[in-house]
Amino acid sequence: MKRRRVAVTGVGVVTGPGQGVEDFWEGLTKDPGKGPFTIDNWDPSALIPRREARRLDVFSQYARVAAHEALEMAGDHGTAADRSGACVGTGIGGMQSFENLVNAVYHSPRPRPSPLAIPMMMGNAAAADISITFGFLGPATTQTLACAAGAQAICDALRQIQWGYADLMVAGGSEAAVRPASIAGFRVARALSPTDESRPFDVDRNGFVVGEGAAMMVLEEWDQAHSRGADILAEVLGAGTSSDAHHITAPHPDGDGARRALEWALEDAGATPEQVGYINAHGTATPLNDAGEGQVIASIWGDNQPLVSSIKGTTGHALGASGGIEAVASVLAISRGQVPPNVGLREQDPQIPLHRIAVEREDWDPGLAVSNSFGFGGHNTVLVFGPAD
């Protein structure tokens, strides 16, 4: 079977910088100050009835609202239910529900845990809820590759359509882990910024700041999208996935796994490095990640580097949702002809060999955009998007 082309026909976002695509896009230019970067005044009642929302962890609520926006943007796709599916990435799942369960069991004089505690906290709850809500009878899967989960979910959805298992997939990531337990865990692991500032690639970067949210995109078989006159935002050209096989938290010292994922993604897309005009970097603002990612980009592009930026200066590190959020930012960079800025960068680390970090929103002639996602455990996923030509 010939590999089928895949279009992006809708995107949806729920993040600290903005709820909804327009607010998110504008929010990417603003310095949010100190983190953690939370979604304030969350109220999904316009789309999720209150009684129903009480049966969903917040990460599932984020995912459903983002999926609704993406599907609304995609329009009337007319895809058969058994040819439609969902793939959602999450690093932690229902952390709030987990905390509530622990408190009910261990810290209540009369333990009465919710009978819905397990289905609310399980990682696959968001993908299941999207399938149930929108009546998708095709693949419904979940990726839990830590910070690469959202990107890997998009990669898996891409393969489902490329090889004919589905015609439409809602894919992305969701996370609601700005909770006392997860913050404490990251804090003792010395992964977080002690000053709660997210400054990717800066000489004074000192760790990441936790964020939260969800981002979903509608992937659709190209001919179907084109024939119905859909507004195609971008094309998903390829993806690459690798493992460092090195350490549970630290990246490979020479970036070997990240480099292979990048090279395989370009090969899968049938593209050369020279065709890439923008890299949405993983850029966590940790000393090891930013140094290693910079070295990998320099090793592939040399002195002829594309524009590079990390949006984690505004979104924070949304863990399993970050790959989905950054993939949507990459698609918007293509469809709107602008690269989002690397907020938080005051003085670039001279040891990071990146020559074209976008410190402000920059216009560009949209070519290929690469989105990097690297996760604890040594998981690396890279996505390649192109204009809808």
| Sole residue written with tokens 């090195």 | 246
Q: Are 279 and 297 in contact (CB under 8 A)?
A: yes
- Whole-angstrom Cα distance, residue 361 to residue 137? 41
Q: What is the CA radius of gyration of the chain?
A: 19
- Whole-angstrom Cα distance, residue 78 to residue 373? 32
| Phi, psi dihedrals of residue 239, rounded to the nearest 5° | -155, 155
Number of Cβ within 10 Å of residue 205's Cβ equals 26
**Catalytic sites, residue numbers:** 147, 282, 317
Separation in Å, CA 376 to CA 238, 273, 330, 366: 23, 26, 22, 31
Burial 20-48 (b: 16+ CB within 10 A, else e): ebeebbebbeeebeebbbbbeeeebeeeb
**DSSP state for residue 82 in the 8-state scheme:** G
Separation in Å, CA 387 to CA 8, 33, 223, 327, 333: 10, 33, 16, 14, 10
DSSP characters over 263-321: HHHHHHHT--GGGEEEEE----S-HHHHHHHHHHHHHHHTTS--EEE-THHHH-B-GGG
| Sole residue written with tokens 């179907």 | 224
Number of Cβ within 10 Å of residue 242's Cβ equals 22
| Phi, psi dihedrals of residue 143, rounded to the nearest 5° | -115, 135
- Whole-angstrom Cα distance, residue 73 to residue 86? 16
Number of Cβ within 10 Å of residue 107's Cβ equals 8
Locate 32 and state its tokens.
């949010």
- Whole-angstrom Cα distance, residue 332 to residue 377? 29
